[in-house]
Amino acid sequence: MIPKWCASLQLLIKATIFLNYQIKQPSEITHKIKGSKFIARVYAVESREAAVTIVNDVESEHRKASHVCWACRIDQSGDSLGYSSDAGEPRGSAGTPILAAIEGCDLTNVLCVVIRYFGGTKLGIGGLVRAYGGVAAEALELAGRKKHTSIALVTVQCDLSDYSNVMHILRKYRLSVQPVFTPDTASVHFEISPKDFNDLSQEIHIISSATIKSE
């Protein structure tokens, strides 16, 4: 039997998945701080790779910028993973406060890029943290937020003889599926919420030849 505290923790973890938000719209703000120009931009992204592509485009657009720092937070099957870059600023003085601003807004699937044109006055570590974190927070607030529903990409594979049994289970979840067949097996690809994935997994595992995995 699962202890009550453990069961409560599991429910808390499952509930936390749906507390994240995503931005309503892209945004941009510009501030001058002790002569340096800071431009903060916010984008919706679905992966770290998509975030890096946007950062590369921004770097090309602002070739004369002193630094192009960024942070993103990406949903992966219910877990929000954070990534950041100081882009030549002292370690932890740029990317980290930008990421902290994102986490402070409970946002996921979001990228915040802060471009800095150095104005001749050094800000110090504390000044940089306040500058990058402050402009990021303001840009994120301007972008607004809406509830985010996490989605897991799932594949179920089984013997052809069990395909109809698998589909009988999947129909209960009203999923849009993409089946792929080989001479001996069938694979079904679809998207589902992490909460439903847990319930579905228990049903699929009853079928001896079936396997289920999320990406």
CA–CA gap between residue 98 and residue 133 (Å, rounded): 5
Domain 152-214, CATH: 3.30.70.120
| H or E element at residue 53 | helix 48-61
Q: For residues 36 and 121, what is the distance between their CA atoms, to the nearest angstrom?
A: 7
Which pLDDT belongs to residue 174?
82
**Residue in this structure with the two tokens 């402009």, named with its chain if needed:** 135
- 184 vs 9: which has the higher pLDDT: 184
Domain 19-147 - what CATH class?
alpha beta
At residue 4, the pLDDT reads 38
Q: What is the pLDDT of residues 172-204, one digit of tens each?
A: 888 888 899 999 999 998 888 777 888 888 999
Is residue 77 pLDDT above 70, yes or no?
no
Is the pLDDT confidence value at 121 over 60? yes
pLDDT at 149: 66
Task: Give the residue extent of every domain in the chain.
Answer: 19-147, 152-214
42-46, 145-149, 155-159, 177-181: the lowest-pLDDT one: 145-149
